[in-house]
Structure 1
Amino acid sequence: MTPTFPAFFSRTHAANPPAELTARIGPNAVTQLHAALIAAGLEAEAVQLFSAARAEDWLADRPAAMVDERRVARLHRLTRTLLPAGTAEMILTDAGERTANYILANRIPSLVQTVLKPLPAPLAAKALASAISAHAWTFAGSGVFSVRVGKPLIFEIAGNPLCAGERPGAPVCAWHAAVFQRLFQALVSRRAQVIETDCEARGDACCRFAVSWDRRAAALDP
């Protein structure tokens, strides 16, 4: 039997957010971004970014609880605008992978991972997608998250707070895509690929992520 979703994640986070947390997002969107900047040798840039985002307090006292999504959005937006485009994407991708690694190490019990990995990919993908959906408030904040199971599997975030108000003309949600891709590569298939095919930052109705994992991993053009 495929494990049910509420058993996936550590009980440190409830399956549904308290009402007062609906405009908040998980601290890994901050802490892992800082870790990625430091790993890339961008210590000075990290100080500049956090200062520009009025988030210097997070440098002195790393957040461990849910944080105001507006502050996180400002930090991610400034990362994209103040760093060179290629560097920003690399940093946000690394931050997303680090976030997923944290989830794998601290939020999904090893027994559950052991059960998931040998399952046929479609079953494992469905179970993982359900788990992600149940805890979507930790990374989508006030956005509306939905899943469509199929080939490819689709994640959508409508009203994505982390790209609100941006209009660069191209998808920008490298952090979200990297979180999803790393989780699927670890628990569903090493061939898993996640591509953001639609993004509110370029005027689309939602941020849409296509997840594929077969040998013909779709070459989807965002």
Structure 2
Amino acid sequence: MGSDNGTKYLDSGLPQMTEDEKKPKYTSVFTFTIIPFAIGLAIAFAIYFFGSTTVYNQRIVALTKNDLQWAFAAVVVLGRVVTFVNLYPMVHKSQIVKGSSGNLRSNPFIYKLIGKDAPVNAVVFEDEGAVGAYNRANRSLHHMIENYAVVVAGLYLASTVFPFPVFLLTCMFGIGRIMHQVGYSSGYGGHGTGFALTLVAQVTLEGLLALVFLKSQKFF
């Protein structure tokens, strides 16, 4: 079997992978767990230094008296764990589907039929027409649920120090999620801009939480 992009497919319907492509690759998991967070922390420092620094410091001192800096640190740990757990399946996804596999990449699971005379065909999302759009829109919803733990857990904490920046980040997160879902329903790849906005909002929120902890421990 073949396709317009030159990809060959197995009898199961999944893309044929080379031996090199079948090897698990872990570098991207660690890269994307660390690099985006570092960017978010840099943005958080910009908010801190170019914003109401004196007021932020007063609030950090007040919450440190009650040892609440550890709650801020705990949410950062939670955020990085959730990120890693969401990224790790990509190691194995890259062994199954190619970057050029289009809508096939939206499948969070690949099923097979079992039992007597069961065909070898893989069972995946319907990806055509309204049904395909429905499936991908729901996949976007699941993606939000999989990733927004740090937003829910950190929203109030970060607001106690950076109320207005957190409001703006929440608006950015919301706009990003809407763009992600609407774009995803049009086809795999249409969610990219929304994903980027959501990611920046999330890691910046984590960065603000980390900044509070670092300041409380007199790292700067």
- Scaled to the shorter chain, the TM-score interval is under 0.3
Normalising to structure 1: TM-score of the pair? 0.28
Normalising to structure 2: TM-score of the pair? 0.28
Tell me which structure has the larger Cα radius of gyration.
Answer: 2
Considering fraction of residues, name the structure with more strand: 1
Considering fraction of residues, name the structure with more helix: 2
